[in-house]
Amino acid sequence: MAETAVRMEAGERTTTRPGFLSRIFLHNLPAKIAALPMVLTVLVVFVGCTIWTIYYSFTNSKLLPTGKFVGFDQYERLFATSRWNVSVWNLVAYGSMSLVFTLVIGFILAVLIDQKIRFESAFRTIMLYPFALSFIVTGLVWQWIMNPTLGLQGTLRNLGWENFTFDWIANPRMVLFALLIAGLWHGTGFCMVLMLAGLRGVDEEVWKAARVDGIPTWRTYVSIVLPMMRGVLITAIVIIGSGIVRLYDLVVALTNGGPGISSEVPAKYVFNYMFSGGNIGQGLAGATMMLLTVLIIMIPWAYLEFGGKGRRA
């Protein structure tokens, strides 16, 4: 009984408000027309292609998307492939280290620049410059620097430091750190600029109050300023995170997945199987797994961020 009552009430609500449909479509019409192209882009390009991708990952499509439905076959093969498993593990390891170090180093650099130093804009420019280079250029530059025979190791050995060793790029156990060095060199400057903007956005009054209370500067940064920069932090995490998931060009330029398969990443697997391997089904299964990983991280965060009302920063 109660249920039908509720339903009737709901029905009444929609029928008793005559302008419901027109309110949805006509209210603030110019804004809606202006947003239409973007709405269509999102629906067709993002949502549409995502659905297309997921659908064809369940087929045995080869070069052309014409295959038959084969259930989870592509996924079974994917997780039985050691190259894929190594790729996933590499991304997790690289991703977590990259996220932590970019944020920490970026924040420390921002704090240092925030000390009202001289030539601040010059330092800011120098720090931000690597971000203006593409990953391909970054990768090639670091490949030369870290090449055991031509780069740093070779140079120092030629100068007489015979037992100097820096062969991370040729060492399967250290190659991820070689990637990390290049990635951090590229990304921390941008993180620093974001953080700096956040630091500058904190009201001077907060600092004065902290000083009156005799709180040490480092403590003010960690316990007061940092929590106030929540918005900037989330922006930084999203930007760094999306950079990590699509990690591809840096690997191709720096190590090409080597030595062996020790620096392979999922995006490279997907690309290889879709294009040079001519196996769209397998490539799309990999792509779908990448999407799933992102969703697993994003959904709980989005729920916390937008779900609970009144917790907005």
**Interface positions with other proteins (CB under 8 A):** 62-64, 66, 77, 81-83, 148-149, 167, 170-172, 256-262, 272-273, 275-279, 282
Q: Which helix (H) or strand (E) holds 216?
A: none
Pick between residue 105 and residue 170 the one whose CB is nearest to other proteins.
Answer: 170
Least Cβ distance, residue 259 to other proteins (angstroms): 4
First-to-final CA distance of the chain: 43
Pick between residue 48 and residue 278 the one whose CB is nearest to other proteins.
Answer: 278
Pick between residue 241 and residue 258 the one whose CB is nearest to other proteins.
Answer: 258
CA distance 25 to 239: 34
Query: Which two tokens mark 274?
Result: 């879709």
Least Cβ distance, residue 288 to other proteins (angstroms): 18
Query: Which two tokens mark 236?
Result: 């930084």
Q: Cα separations (Å) of 111 from 64, 97, 116? A: 53, 21, 10
Pick between residue 243 and residue 266 the one whose CB is nearest to other proteins.
Answer: 266
- In the block, tokens 């037992």 appear at 163
What's the Rg (C-alpha) of the chain? 26
Nearest to 144 by CA among 135, 136, 152: 152
Least Cβ distance, residue 135 to other proteins (angstroms): 17
CB 289 within 8 A of CB 270: no
Least Cβ distance, residue 42 to other proteins (angstroms): 24
Pick between residue 77 and residue 157 the one whose CB is nearest to other proteins.
Answer: 77
Least Cβ distance, residue 184 to other proteins (angstroms): 24
